Amino acid sequence: MNAIEFLIGTLFDLFLMVVLLRFWLQWAKADFYNPMSQFVVKATSFAVNPLRKIIPGFAGLDLASLLLAFIVAVAKMSTLMLLKLGAWAAQPVLMDALMTVLIEGLNLVFWVLLIRAILSWVSQGYNPMEAVFHQLTEPMLKPLRKVIPPLGGLDLSVLVLILGIQFLQILLADILA
C-alpha cells in the first residue's frame, strides 16, 4: 500500500509543482517564449484555460492557476485519505490541501534555486533554462545581496535563501504536528 501512496502522491506533487510554476512564471513576468515556459503553459493549459473563463486574473496574479493548484492538492489529499481510511472528511482535506500548496511552493523555490546554482557553475554561454530561473529567483535574491555582498566572487545569497526556505518548511511541519 505504501508504494501506491508514494506513486499517487508523487504524481500529484509533480503536477502541482508545474501548476505553481505557471503561477510563478506569470507573477515574475518571465519570458513567455522560453522553451521551459512554453512547456509549463502547454502542460497546464487544458485545466487553466477553462478556469480562466470563470476566474479572471487580478493585479497581475493568475488566480486561475492558483485555484487549480488548490484543486490538485484537494484531489491529492482526498485520494490519499480515501485510500488510507476509506472515508472522506472535508475539513482535514481542505486544511491539508492548503498546507500542501504552501509546502510544494517552498519545495519548488528550493529546487529552482538549487538548479540555478548548479547551472551557474557548469553552464557556458547562454542557457535558456538558466535565464528563466534567473528571472524567477532574482526578485528574491536581490534584497539579500544588499545585506550580504558577494565574498570573493561567491554569492551567498542563494545559500541564505535556501536556509530560509528550509526553516519555513520545518516551521510548517511543526505547526502541522
Residues 61-99: tens digit of each pLDDT: 888 999 999 999 999 999 999 998 888 888 989 999 999
Per the listing, cell 488510507 goes with 84
Specify the pLDDT at position 125: 76
> CB under 8 Å to 54, separation ≥6 — which residues?
64
pLDDT, tens digit (0-9, with 9 covering 90-100), for 126-145:
788 888 999 999 999 999 98
In DSSP terms, 61 is beta-bridged to 58
Question: Global pTM?
Answer: 0.89
pLDDT classification of 121: cutoffs 50, 70, 90: confident
